[in-house]
Amino acid sequence: MNKPAETYSIADLAREFDVTHRAIRFYEDEGLLSPGRDGTRRVYSKRDWVRLKLILRGKRLGFSLAEVHEMLELYDSAPDERPQLEKFVAALAARREQLERQREE
């Protein structure tokens, strides 16, 4: 994946992340992405690019969309909010333990 550009079309994101346009629209409907508009055309920002990357990473790690949404809210919060970051790290650690147990079974 390349460094984020200034703006993206839905086709750009679909190509960049190897997902369908429908998947991107679904994430938008779920409130995970919030593109701007240029007429009827969706215009995605660097923020949307990063959020999509995090969504797909969370999905790959087995997190639910609700969990991914919560993590994205932490990502959007002020960086000095230590309790939120600790919660995020704890969620990742718990998921890792769960995956390791599944692998051992």
Residues 8-59 have pLDDT tens digits of 999 999 999 999 999 999 999 999 999 999 999 999 999 999 899 989 998 9
* 24 token code pair: 């991107």
Please give the model's pTM, rounded to 2 decimal places. 0.74
| Domain residue ranges in the chain | 7-104
Phi and psi for 44 in degrees, rounded to 5? -100, 140
Residue at 92: amino acid letter: L
| CATH of segment(s) 7-104 | 1.10.1660.10
Q: Indicate the pLDDT class of residue 98, thresholds 50, 70 and 90.
A: confident
Whether the pLDDT of residue 89 is over 70: the answer is yes
